[in-house]
């Protein structure tokens, strides 16, 4: 249901994504690991055109876009097939917790306010922040903000959830609650593409782990294999450093 | 030095106050229209809409680069001579047009700066939930820019209220025009103009109270 062919992104002369192919089944949870600066985040960002890819064909759900000549309308349609969890949470600063979750439902999907807020309230319960519904992001801890960020992504029910280093900006004390919540989301077999440096978490939730280096997929496989018996020397070197 | 005619001054207050609604009305209508126009121009410039961007630059350059009084005379005395349909334009309409366009040019630049000050993450978050550019501006970016731009915009509104006094040069009997007439009848220029000065000042001070409330309201998402 997700098919990417020949995805390429250059920043100047630097090729950040080098002709990537990827297929993800519905309900599959794919985790991408690798050293910093190897294009992991860029990959997620090109999939919903936060960065415009230079080449490649992206198909998510029933929307297919050719990066070379994607109209604004197509880009928007593709974006609506994905939800995104940001490293720095990126909550709407002028909206309360519940409004952050409901915003996409009312503005983008045209739900009436009551229905959207009822749904947002359910999600607040799931993410354990029912009592914070009226709080603005500035009054929430980093962990709480990221949980709202995940809640916002859950609300859209987009076919593919893109999760970009969800705990990298967090103080250590908040990391666990965010990972617990993401596990809960993963357990519902939400199709997701996750970039993370939390190896234990990767092991716990992944159906497949991809090791990425230099803008290419070096090695991929089930987590047991990647973490215990990596084939490529680069994967081994990386895992030795982080495990 | 002669003694001030206090009786005359007190008598003048209610007469001049009756012109305050016209002055405030002209300023309020101009402000609302200028805000809308300025926001549109700011967005056009930030998003770089082709053609419109060039037109907006030209517009801002002209209306910031020429005196308000010249613009008012151009609208009221000049344009009707070349555009027949404007022959019937009255002073109040011409003043509102002039104030709107003049201040929109200034306000567009402050709003543009405020928009550019909104954190990049807010744009990306808006796009990530699938908003169109218009939705993103209306729901997320402009409301946050408003908080930053508010003090400057209130300043322009104050300037605009005082700017309505220029409508008197277009033959409009507003607060300033009325004072001029009263003074010309009584020859008590000091009394008349000190009273009108105090009235303008009181209006602006009242507005400053509202400014504080407005800023608290716009800043509520940032209060801890």
pLDDT in tens, A11-28: 999 999 999 999 999 999
B91: nearest Cα among B106, B80, B107: B80
For chain B, give the mean pLDDT. Answer: 92
How far is A29 from B86, CA to CA, in rounded Å? 67
B-chain residues within 8 Å CB-CB of A94? 140, 143-144, 147, 221
- Is B148 near chain A, with CB under 8 Å? no
Does the pTM exceed 0.90?
no
pLDDT over 70 at B54, yes or no: yes
Partners of A64 in the β-ladder = A59
Q: Under 8 Å CB-to-CB from A187, ≥6 apart: which residues? A: none
Contact assessment for residue A108 and residue B129, using Cβ atoms and an 8 Å cutoff: yes
How far is A145 from A89, CA to CA, in rounded Å? 6
Question: In terms of CA atoms, which chain A residue is nearest residue B126?
Answer: A92
pLDDT of residue B1: 79
pLDDT in tens, B175-198: 999 999 998 988 999 999 999 999
How far is A17 from A43, CA to CA, in rounded Å? 7
Average pLDDT of span A72-80: 94
How far is A133 from A118, CA to CA, in rounded Å? 12
Return the structure tokens found at B111. 């709003």
Q: Please report where in the chains the tokens 């009997």 appear, as a residue.
A: B173
pLDDT of residue A210: 97
B-chain residues within 8 Å CB-CB of A47? none
pLDDT over 70 at B224, yes or no: no
pLDDT in tens, A168-190: 999 999 999 999 999 999 999 99
Average pLDDT of span A45-63: 94
B118: nearest Cα among B130, B126, B129: B126
Average pLDDT of span A185-200: 95
Which among B119, B124, B224 is the nearest to A138, CB-wise?
B224
pLDDT over 90 at B89, yes or no: no
B-chain residues within 8 Å CB-CB of A48? 127-128
Average pLDDT of span B41-53: 92
pLDDT over 70 at B159, yes or no: yes
pLDDT in tens, A222-242: 999 999 999 999 999 999 998
Question: What's the pLDDT band for B155 if we cut at 50, 70, 90?
Answer: very high
DSSP state of A68: G
pLDDT over 90 at A35, yes or no: yes
B60 burial level (CB within 10 Å; 0-12, 13-18, 19+): buried
pLDDT over 70 at B223, yes or no: no
Question: What's the pLDDT band for B218 if we cut at 50, 70, 90?
Answer: confident
- Is A76 near chain B, with CB under 8 Å? yes
């Amino acid at each position: 249901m997700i098919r990417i062919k020949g995805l390429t992104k250059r920043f100047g002369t630097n090729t950040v994504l080098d002709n990537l192919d990827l297929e993800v089944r519905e309900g599959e949870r794919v985790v991408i690991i690798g050293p910093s600066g190897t294009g992991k985040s860029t990959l997620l960002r090109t999939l919903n055109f936060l960065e415009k890819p230079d080449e490649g064909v992206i198909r998510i759900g029933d929307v297919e876009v050719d990066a070379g000549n994607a109209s604004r309308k197509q880009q928007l349609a593709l974006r609506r097939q994905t939800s995104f969890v940001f490293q720095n949470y990126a909550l709407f600063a002028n909206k309360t917790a519940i409004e952050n979750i409901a915003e996409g439902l009312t503005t983008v999907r045209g739900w009436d306010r009551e229905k959207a807020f009822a749904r947002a309230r359910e999600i607040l319960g799931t993410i354990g922040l029912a009592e914070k519904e009226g709080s603005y992001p500035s009054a929430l801890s980093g962990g709480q903000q990221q949980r709202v960020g995940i809640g916002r992504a859950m609300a859209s029910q987009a076919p593919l959830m893109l999760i970009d280093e969800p705990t990298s900006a967090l103080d250590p004390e908040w990391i666990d609650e965010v990972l617990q919540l993401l596990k809960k989301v993963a357990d519902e077999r939400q199709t997701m593409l996750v970039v993370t440096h939390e190896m234990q978490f990767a092991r716990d939730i992944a159906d497949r782990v991809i090791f990425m280096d230099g803008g290419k997929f070096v090695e991929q496989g089930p987590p047991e294999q990647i973490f215990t018996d990596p084939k490529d020397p680069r994967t081994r070197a990386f895992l030795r450093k982080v495990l | 030095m002669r003694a001030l005619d206090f009786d005359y001054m007190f008598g003048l207050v209610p007469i001049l106050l009756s012109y305050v609604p016209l002055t405030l009305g002209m300023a309020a209508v101009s402000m609302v229209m200028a805000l809308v126009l300025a926001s549109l121009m700011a967005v056009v410039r930030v998003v770089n809409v082709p053609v419109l961007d060039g037109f907006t630059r030209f517009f801002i350059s002209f209306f910031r680069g020429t005196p308000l009084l010249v613009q008012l005379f151009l609208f009221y005395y000049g344009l009707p001579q070349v555009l027949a349909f404007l022959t019937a334009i009255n002073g109040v309409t011409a003043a509102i047009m002039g104030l709107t366009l003049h201040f929109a040019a200034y306000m567009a630049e402050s709003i543009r700066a405020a928009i550019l000050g909104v954190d990049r993450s807010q744009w990306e978050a808006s796009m990530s939930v699938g908003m169109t550019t218009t939705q993103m501006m209306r729901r997320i970016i402009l409301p946050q820019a408003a908080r930053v731009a508010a003090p400057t915009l209130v300043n322009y509104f104050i300037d605009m209220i005082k700017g309505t006094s220029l409508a008197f040069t277009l033959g409009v009997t507003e607060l300033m025009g009325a004072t001029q007439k009263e003074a010309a009848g009584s020859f008590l220029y000091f009394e008349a103009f000190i009273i009108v000065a105090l009235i303008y000042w009181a209006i602006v001070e009242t507005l400053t109270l509202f400014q504080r409330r407005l800023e608290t309201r716009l800043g509520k998402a940032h209060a801890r």
